[in-house]
Structure 1
Amino acid sequence: MSNKTPIQWTHSTCNPSMGCDGCELWPNPSKVRSELVTLALSASGESKLRLTALIGLELHPYEYASQIFHDRIDLALKLESLIPEVPSYLWLEKLEQIFKCYAGILHIYRGGKPADWSTPSVKGHAAIFEKPELFPGRVAKSANLPDLRGKKAKDSPWLDGLPRLIFLSDMGDALSRSISFDYLKAEIIDNVTSPQGQRHIWLWLTKRPKRMAEFARWLESRDLTWPDNLVAMTTITNQKTSNRIANLRQVPAKVRGLSIEPLWEDVALDLQGIDWAIVGGESGKSARPFDLSWARSLLTQCHQSETAFFMKQLGANIVDDGYPLTVRDRHGGNWEEWPCDLRVREFPQSFHDDSLIQSQPEKSNPPETPTIVPSC
């Protein structure tokens, strides 16, 4: 649980579980092998069959990709000795390029390498990122955080006056297959709907909206409804993953949102039933280009569908009108460095008017929509 976070679109984060089954941002060992073979083929005269065998032999001891990332430096040196046409720094660069999930990378950096892959070296993390672990009680602690309605948000004027926004699962995916619906009901639903939890808006993000819809039906079979203050959200990274939107629409949430980050290409989205879209470019030293025309297209799509648009960050590899755009913020997250037309940070109107909240604010103030565009 974090009372304060650098994530621009929320006040706090909370992780009822740590870890994730994997997604397009976090490869499985087979995908890692395929990427390494492609690199070897670009430099070596060996056959694809032999290179696959050599690299596969080095990766054989690893059951999970996160174990590979832990050992990436030693692995790069071993691969150089086997295939000397590719120097170790290129092997290491490739290994770091194919792991894109900030949650997985932070988990590895902060959690450390376990001695036996069964017990995390740092309390509060999963030993292996792809094997999610449960942390009951965290959502209840977040529910007890102070009510923020009517209060100023220091250095974040777009959050002024809003209820506390709590991002669920920024360090994994609570809808991973191994996590039971009974646990999600007890840890998330019961606390979100508690008297304390009803003072806040909870933002539940998953790359598995189909399972989120299944969970909603499971709740209905027990005469439980989806809480108004629990926003259902999914991630879109490219046109291929936009099919998640149809599954998200099956969740009977009062508000649904998209995290379109990191965005890898221009996308055309069906935003019917979508109330909020957060957009961002990729960060990190091997970030793929983020063309601002993609963001502008989404801004137009959102305004045509009356979907609130939130520009989170431009990323670390920005392209504007065919030219690189240099900014000081390494994530491209300082909106004062952006073109004026993209300095937009909107929230759904229901975040402002208390229609999602059942309890009265601790200090009753009329809702105000914060300024979303700084002066240019």
Structure 2
Amino acid sequence: MGDRTGISWTDATWNPLRGCSRVSAGCVHCYAETVAARFSGPRQPYEGLVHAKTRGWNEQLRFVEGALDQPLRWSRPRLIFVNSMSDLFHENVPDEWIDRIFAVMALAPRHTFQVLTKRPERMLSYLGERTDNREHAIGEQMRVISRGRNPGLPELPLPNVWLGISVEDQSAADGRIPLLLQCPAAVRWLSCEPLLGPVDLRQACTLRQCTDPYGVSHCGMVCDLDWVVVGGESGAGARPMEPAWPRALRDECAQAGVPYYEDTRMFRPLRPGCVAEGREVIGRIE
């Protein structure tokens, strides 16, 4: 957790939770699992959260009390990636923990919080409850964090919270995107990292009849996604990414007017001799 990060699409990471478990092919070379295993010894941050033999997550999660108010202590506005070392909507995370994290996000409107999950079914279950019930639960935690002051009730969806899902291939996209689109959110986004196969986003987009300023009628693609991040896998044993896969996503985003970010530093091509470095950005979120 910290004000510096190697993740190119954010400014800082915030980890009020620790621990996770694998859920799909995108988790096979999980960087968070590797880091946790390295610091899982006695009296270290991830003690008790990984298997001693396999060095993998053991499905145990821990709330990090001392990290909860970190964003409130950052005065300069930041893009903040929430739980880079866990999953906010893991099935073993109690609703109360999520309420507390949403309370901090509501109390820090100067920041923009980037939430990412591989478990959109839990996210929808949490956010799909009666809005007034969820707002009161978060509001109660806001009062506790504010030490008795009454900051009022939040209005969901929080305007400074982006809700996103990880999508590594078409199977993940087909299962997760429809659930994301049902979640109330100011911004909905995808992280196609690591991209392990082609992904077609047309299920999230529709063709609509439009009229341009000159009165000419035409069909245009409109997408219910607000941002797409794409990158390959890095590190030892990284699985390669075919260059055509991100290219197709880029073209779909351009057609639908969806901001697209490609981190080509995390790019191991299938074709020998093909080298790409840097990043490509198309569009921006206003």
Shorter-chain-normalised TM-score: which range? 0.7 to 0.9
SS at structure 1 position matched to 2:93: coil
SS at structure 1 position matched to 2:164: strand
- For residues 181-219 of structure 1, the C-alpha deviation after alignment (integer angstroms, 9 at most, x for no partner) is 112102x1111111xx11000001010011111111236
Give the structure-2-normalised TM-score: 0.77
User: Aligned residue for 2:149?
Assistant: none
- Which residue identity is paired with 2:256? S
CA distance in 2, matches of 1:315, 1:141: 29
Work out which of the residue numbers 277, 281, 285 in structure 2 matches 1:344. Answer: 281
Correspondence list, 1:229-240, <5 A? 229-240=160-171
1:289 aligned onto 2:240: yes
Asked if structure 2 preserves the Cα contact closer than 8 Å seen for 1:2 and 1:14, the reply is: yes
Say which structure, 1 or 2, has more relative contact order (CA 8 Å, 6+ apart).
1
Work out which of the residue numbers 170, 174, 177 in structure 1 matches 2:88. Answer: 174
- Which residue identity is paired with 1:240? S
Asked if structure 2 preserves the Cα contact closer than 8 Å seen for 1:280 and 1:313, the reply is: yes
Asked if structure 2 preserves the Cα contact closer than 8 Å seen for 1:261 and 1:282, the reply is: yes
Mean Cα displacement is larger for which, 4-13 or 172-181? 172-181
Work out which of the residue numbers 165, 186, 193 in structure 1 matches 2:79. Answer: 165
Work out which of the residue numbers 132, 136, 149 in structure 1 matches 2:61. Answer: 132
- Which residue identity is paired with 2:177? I
Query: Identity percentage over the alignment?
Result: 28
User: Aligned residue for 2:103?
Assistant: 190
User: Aligned residue for 1:12?
Assistant: 12
CA distance in 2, matches of 1:26, 1:276: 19
Structure 1 residues 16 and 219: CA distance shift in structure 2, 3 A: farther
- Which residue identity is paired with 1:348? I
Structure 1 residues 126 and 250: CA distance shift in structure 2, 3 A: farther
Work out which of the residue numbers 187, 192, 203 in structure 2 matches 1:260. Answer: 192
1:207 aligned onto 2:118: yes
- Which residue identity is paired with 1:229? N
Backbone CA RMSD of aligned residues: 2.1
CA distance in 2, matches of 1:7, 1:102: 12
Asked if structure 2 preserves the Cα contact closer than 8 Å seen for 1:19 and 1:126, the reply is: no
Offset at 1:303?
Answer: 1.2
Offset at 1:274?
Answer: 0.8
Q: Can you give the 5+ residue segments of structure 2 that lack an aligned partner in the other structure?
A: 51-56, 136-155, 205-222
Offset at 1:127?
Answer: 2.8
1:249 aligned onto 2:186: no
Structure 1 residues 146 and 313: CA distance shift in structure 2, 3 A: farther
Offset at 1:146?
Answer: 2.3
CA distance in 1, matches of 2:39, 2:12: 19
Number of corresponding residues: 239
- For residues 244-297 of structure 1, the C-alpha deviation after alignment (integer angstroms, 9 at most, x for no partner) is 011011110010110001001111113331100000011122111211111111
Offset at 1:221?
Answer: 4.6
Give the structure-1-normalised TM-score: 0.59
Structure 1 residues 25 and 184: CA distance shift in structure 2, 3 A: same
- Which residue identity is paired with 1:13? T
Asked if structure 1 preserves the Cα contact closer than 8 Å seen for 2:20 and 2:86, the reply is: yes
- Which residue identity is paired with 1:198? P
Work out which of the residue numbers 308, 311, 315 in structure 1 matches 2:266. Answer: 315
SS at structure 2 position matched to 1:111: coil
Structure 1 residues 347 and 110: CA distance shift in structure 2, 3 A: farther
- For residues 120-149 of structure 1, the C-alpha deviation after alignment (integer angstroms, 9 at most, x for no partner) is 54036653232111113423112321224x
Rg larger in 1 or in 2? 1
Correspondence list, 1:35-74, <5 A? none
CA distance in 2, matches of 1:345, 1:103: 28
Asked if structure 2 preserves the Cα contact closer than 8 Å seen for 1:235 and 1:260, the reply is: yes
Work out which of the residue numbers 320, 324, 330 in structure 1 matches 2:273. Answer: 324
Between structures 1 and 2, the one with greater helix share: 1
CA distance in 2, matches of 1:106, 1:25: 19
User: Aligned residue for 2:209?
Assistant: none
Between structures 1 and 2, the one with greater strand share: 2
